[in-house]
């Protein structure tokens, strides 16, 4: 079911509400993301899919919340998400290591708390 740039999916006995977002970092790196806003883990953000403009794809990942990234993030429509996905996949796609990303975000968060 699609409603104003969000999608509701049923997974494992639970409903997920998906929003489409895009993060444009100052260094030129960009991500398009499908985010589950109904995640039951408050300290982690659930992304159903993340694709970078460098061709790295992550699927079904839980990453620590990153306040800095949120400052560069905006909502996009489902149509914008899939159009960008099609354009970027033509450059080739590799699977990302979600553990490395989670580790980097956790280190970044810890260093700000000290």
Backbone angles phi, psi at 62, to 5 degrees: -115, 115
What pLDDT score was predicted for residue 84? 97
What pLDDT score was predicted for residue 4? 42
Parallel, antiparallel or unpaired: strands 30-36 and 14-24: antiparallel
The mean of the pLDDT values for the chain is 86
pLDDT tens digits for range 54-78? 999 999 999 888 888 999 999 999 9
Instruction: Collect all residues with Cβ–Cβ distance below 8 Å to 90 and sequence separation of at least 6.
Output: none
Question: Which comes out higher in pLDDT, residue 10 or 73?
Answer: 73
Percent of the chain with pLDDT over 70: 86
pLDDT tens digits for range 11-32? 555 678 999 999 999 999 999 9
What pLDDT score was predicted for residue 3? 40
């Amino acid at each position: 079911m699609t409603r104003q740039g969000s999608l509701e999916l049923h997974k494992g006995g639970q409903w997920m509400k998906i929003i489409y977002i895009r993060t444009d970092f100052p260094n030129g790196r960009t991500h398009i993301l499908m985010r589950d806003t109904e995640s039951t883990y408050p300290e982690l953000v659930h992304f159903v899919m993340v694709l970078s403009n460098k061709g790295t794809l992550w699927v079904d990942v839980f990453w620590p919340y990153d306040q800095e990234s949120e400052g560069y993030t905006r909502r996009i429509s489902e149509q914008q998400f899939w159009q960008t996905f099609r354009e970027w996949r033509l450059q080739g796609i590799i699977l990302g290591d979600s553990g490395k990303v989670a580790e980097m975000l956790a280190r970044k968060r810890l260093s700000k708390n000290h």
